[in-house]
Structure 1
Amino acid sequence: MLVIDGLTCRFGNKTAVSDVNLQIGQGAFIGVIGRSGAGKSTLLRMVNRLQESSAGRILFEDRDVTALKGHELRQWRARAAMVFQQFNLVGRLDVLTNVLMGRLSGMANWRALTKSWSAEDKAIALSALEQFDMANLAAQRADSLSGGQQQRVAIARALVQEPRLILADEPIASLDPRNTKVVMDQLLRINKHFGITVMCNLHSLELARTYCDRLVGMAGGKVVFDGSPSRLTPAVARDLYGLEAGEVMGELADAVPAAGGHAPAALPATAAPQR
């Protein structure tokens, strides 16, 4: 279980995240929703320890994540894999090498420095790419791919980290509707087939209700809603989005009331992360 206990982040006089308390069970698909600037990205970055907290604790299976340093912190960042809005690939490197970067935390220092990938690491990376229909592009430069393809490579890289938790920060913000569905379907497959917890920042209420089994709504750095998608009423949307509520109210009215029923076919067992 992931426990977020009184987590707060301040930048000078500004409080970006204020006293957030959450308990998240293994295998959940959590949608973090709210307007831009609500604190969603800062929250995920604090869980991964890319951003230090000003107060509070993060516990995972009773281990204090906020106290980790050095090698243990690097291991945690591998177990809590990030997927970013802008993909964070190395454009000049080929697709396979970008995915293999997800294996660095488990390598000996000399192998990491020389990028001497083992046959096992290459097999794991290729297997992950196959699950995203990307193995045929393994030798292409990452910057030659479309946005949707790059995000699938980024998710494959996260998967080979053998994570217990995937933190997806607006992973579909720059994608068209077709690639949005492809990427969200892949995240849901990972969640349902491997039992990996997913926390995904989303702006679209329709996507949040379709894919997530629990929604955490943030406004002004605070959690103002925490519950099932069926409880996300127009009144709650107004609390979350303020002046932007009108833009999302139509989505809310048209959205499918039930969540968690959109699971695509399971991934083959050959792609399962090794633990």
Structure 2
Amino acid sequence: MLTIDGLSRRFGAKIAVDDVSLDVSRGAFVGIIGRSGAGKSTLLRMINRLQEPSSGRILCEGRDVTALSGAALRDWRQSCAMIFQQFNLVGRLDVLTNVLMGRLNHVGQTRSLLKLWSAEDKAIALSALEQFDIASLAAQRAESLSGGQQQRVAIARALVQEPKIILADEPIASLDPRNTRIVMDALQRINRHYGITVVCNLHSLDLARSYCDRLVGMAQGRVVFDGAPADLTDDVARDLYGIESGDVLDGHTPVPVPAPALPAAAFA
């Protein structure tokens, strides 16, 4: 589905991502792991074209993503939704409107600016909020919510884009253990129920092992491990994380429980 071919990004003399090549299959849940500064965030931002590659290509189903511009680039970002560490919600707007922003590429900017959302769009947004148990918060300002609630709103916004791929950049970095589990369970349900490919940057190795079906380890901008979670031994992890290995091998991450089936609703 997604092919990353020799992708690099330089910032002056610094190489943030160095000749990365990966193939990601449809419906996979891939965890990108590694210490801070390994190039994980830069890689995801290049896939979404928020950061321009210095060299290399990104292909999706044979289409050269790195060559897209204008409306074609907007279409790509709609089909490749991004979830950020700091949520990127508009705090002064209510939750429902924040989720409806994910429909921008479906309804057009003029209609969205005038808040001319159709009944169908509102139903889709409310359905997404219901799936994450936060429909009751639809009328509240986003800035009034807890961090875990805000991240669930961000995931709902990504879901209503009707994407093929979700890129999650350290989505649980600022959350407590309970909300960490809630958010990771939400991403897992989206992956399993809708077959949406998820590529997720994670610092916690225990979380990555629990939720992902494939792990890609990065160090100094390069891929140094690519395989199943069971193949990533503690010894390999210590080589990957160095002195940070004690932080990621804490053994306290909760194991996910089986996720209940979600109603297909408007996303079938």
The answer to whether TM tops 0.5 is yes
TM-superposed CA distance for 1:219, in Å, is 0.4
TM-superposed CA distance for 1:108, in Å, is 3.1
Structure 2 unmatched runs, 5+? none
Please list, as runs of the form range in 1=range in 2, the aligned pairs for 1:251-262 lying within 5 A after superposition.
251=251
TM-superposed CA distance for 1:272, in Å, is 2.3
Please list, as runs of the form range in 1=range in 2, the aligned pairs for 1:1-275 lying within 5 A after superposition.
1-251=1-251, 263-272=258-267
In the alignment, residue 268 of structure 1 is paired with which amino acid?
Answer: P
In the alignment, residue 56 of structure 2 is paired with which amino acid?
Answer: G
For 1:178 and 1:247, the matched residues in 2 are separated by 18
For 2:257 and 2:230, the matched residues in 1 are separated by 15
3-state SS of the aligned residue for 1:77? Answer: helix
Structure 1 unmatched runs, 5+? none
Runs of 4+ off more than 3 Å:
none
3-state SS of the aligned residue for 1:159? Answer: helix
Q: How has the CA–CA distance of structure 1 residues 245 and 230 changed in structure 2, closer, same or farther, with 3 Å as cutoff?
A: same
For 1:144 and 1:184, the matched residues in 2 are separated by 22
For 1:73 and 1:222, the matched residues in 2 are separated by 26
- RMSD in angstroms over aligned alpha carbons? 1.6
For 1:213 and 1:54, the matched residues in 2 are separated by 30
In the alignment, residue 57 of structure 1 is paired with which amino acid?
Answer: R
Q: Does the 8 Å contact 2:204/2:249 carry over to 1?
A: no
For 1:76 and 1:135, the matched residues in 2 are separated by 28
TM-superposed CA distance for 1:263, in Å, is 4.2
Q: Does the 8 Å contact 1:210/1:262 carry over to 2?
A: no
Count of residue pairs the alignment pairs up: 268
TM-superposed CA distance for 1:118, in Å, is 1.1
In the alignment, residue 200 of structure 1 is paired with which amino acid?
Answer: C
For 1:262 and 1:77, the matched residues in 2 are separated by 31
TM-superposed CA distance for 1:46, in Å, is 0.4
For 2:258 and 2:30, the matched residues in 1 are separated by 15
For 2:130 and 2:247, the matched residues in 1 are separated by 38
TM-superposed CA distance for 1:239, in Å, is 2.1
TM-superposed CA distance for 1:244, in Å, is 1.1
In the alignment, residue 65 of structure 1 is paired with which amino acid?
Answer: V
3-state SS of the aligned residue for 1:120? Answer: helix
Identity, in percent, stands at 72
TM-superposed CA distance for 1:248, in Å, is 2.8
